[in-house]
Amino acid sequence: QVQLVESGGGLVQPGGSLRLSCAASGSIFSINAMGWYRQVLGKERELVATTTADGSTNYKDSVKGRFTISRDNAKNTVYLQMNSLKPEDTAVYYCNAHLNGMRYWGKGTLVTVSL
C-alpha cells in the first residue's frame, strides 16, 4: 500500500526556519509531481510549492524567496525548506504526490509560527 509520511513540523519563532520532509513508501513504480499544500482551519487547502519529475518548480507568491522545494528521487522524498517564517505561515502542511498514476495525500504536519 502506498503512503506518504510527513515530518519536520513544529513550533518556531517568526524569522525562524523549518524543514519538512515527505517520504513515499510502498509499491511505487512511477512518481511524477510532488508538492506541499497547507490549510488553516476554516479555509481551503492551498498550494504552497510543487516540483515535477524533471525538476521544474512552482511556488505560491507569498512564499517565493523564502521557501524552497526539492526532491530526492532515489529516496522517493520531497522536502520543503522554509526560511524567514511568518505567523501567517501557520497551518497544517500536507504532502501531495502523483504516484503510480494516482494522487496521494499525507496526513499533514502542523507548523506554528509564534513568539
Greatest alpha-carbon pair distance for the chain in Å reads 43
Tens digits of per-residue pLDDT, 39-98? Answer: 999 999 999 999 998 889 999 999 999 999 999 999 999 999 999 999 999 999 999 999
pLDDT-derived band at 25, boundaries 50, 70, 90: very high
pLDDT at position 39 is 98
User: Strand, helix or coil at 76?
Assistant: coil
Is the distance from CB of 103 to CB of 31 less than 8 angstroms?
no
pLDDT at position 114 is 96
pLDDT at position 55 is 87
For residue 49, which of 1, 111, 94, 18 has the smallest C-alpha distance?
94
pLDDT at position 42 is 94
Is 29 a residue whose pLDDT tops 90? no
Is 1 a residue whose pLDDT tops 90? no
Which residues are paired to 50 by β-bridges? 35, 58
pLDDT-derived band at 16, boundaries 50, 70, 90: very high
- The backbone torsions φ and ψ at residue 63, rounded to the nearest 5 degrees and listed phi first, read -110, -5
